[in-house]
A = this chain, B = another copy of it.
Amino acid sequence: MQEITVVKVGGKVVETPESLQSLLNDFVALPGLKILVHGGGRSATKIASQLGVETKMVDGRRITDLETLKVVTMVYAGLVNKNIVASLQALGANSVGLTGADLNLIRAVKRPVKEIDYGYVGDVESVQVNELMDLINKNVIPVVAPLTHDGKGNMLNTNADTMASSLACALAEHYKVNLVYCFEKKGVLSNPDDDDAVIPVLTHKLFKEHQQSGVIAEGMIPKLDNGFNAIKAGVAKVNITNTEGLKGGLNTGTLLKDE
């Protein structure tokens, strides 16, 4: 089985020219096949504000009304995605920018309204990787923006961590998949106030314990849920690290273990 690495990077890294260039150099240097999944929230918030569209967040999730959907479609699929693709081409790495609508890659359903109406936010329903694999196997690097479609003509704003995990799971039938979540910390911390207190190996049991005690909280919980889901679905390796971790042969940061 061929090896493929799915790297998810948060918005901040890809939204600053210097850090983007450094990230892409490290990303391109990774051996084997690869996919980049990116965010872009900071740019979306900035452009929304310039357009007079109010940004509303609940628990770190963007409430996506119709105007906000237009903004994130422009920013994620246009500005951020094509900037990355052009930069990769400049490094000699052939790439293609995609959303979940392209190639019918990821179809989602608009999140049902319960206590909160998240608006045009997609919960992943199905992943179809046939054409994606043809491109990957020709050494084309997919660069995936955090948007899906509902099959009825609408784009949907979708969590980038979930998109990376969904792609990793679908590809696990065909490849030995590594999933890497790059974020601002060195890994999952056993002490939120000590940036060096990285948990080297996080079992599912330990995760649940840390979640109960409050050591692991907020945005880390859905990220880790996505990560453990990927391991259950047959993804070979999931780790959580900062962008420096891309240089270390993916052995830095926190490695997830389904025990």
Contact = CB atoms under 8 A, between A and B. Distances in A.
A217 to B, nearest CB: 33
Interface in A84-100: 85-87, 89-90, 94-99
B94 A103 contact: yes
Contact of A103 (B50, B96, B155): B96
Interface string A18-43: 00000000000000000000000000
User: Interface residue tally of chain A, by bracket?
Assistant: 35 or more
Contact of A78 (B75, B131, B134): B75
A93 B78 CA distance: 22
A75 B101 CA distance: 17
Interface string A145-156: 001011111110
A187 to B, nearest CB: 31
A5 to B, nearest CB: 21
A82 interface: yes
Contacts of A89: 101, 104, 149, 151, 153
The list of the 7 closest CB pairs from A to B, nearest first, reads: A78-B78, A74-B74, A90-B153, A74-B78, A77-B78, A86-B149, A96-B102
Contacts of A90: 151-153
B140 A103 contact: yes
Contacts of A76: 78
A104 B75 CA distance: 21
A149 B96 CA distance: 13
A134 B75 CA distance: 28
Contact of A77 (B81, B101, B138, B153): B81
Interface in A38-80: 47, 50-52, 70, 73-79
A83 interface: yes
A230 to B, nearest CB: 25
Contacts of A85: 99, 101-102, 149
Contacts of A101: 82, 85-86, 89, 97
A95 B95 CA distance: 17
A135 interface: yes
19 contacts: A50-B52, A70-B79, A73-B79, A74-B78, A76-B78, A77-B77, A78-B81, A82-B101, A82-B102, A85-B99, A86-B101, A86-B153, A87-B153, A94-B104, A95-B102, A97-B102, A103-B140, A134-B135, A135-B135
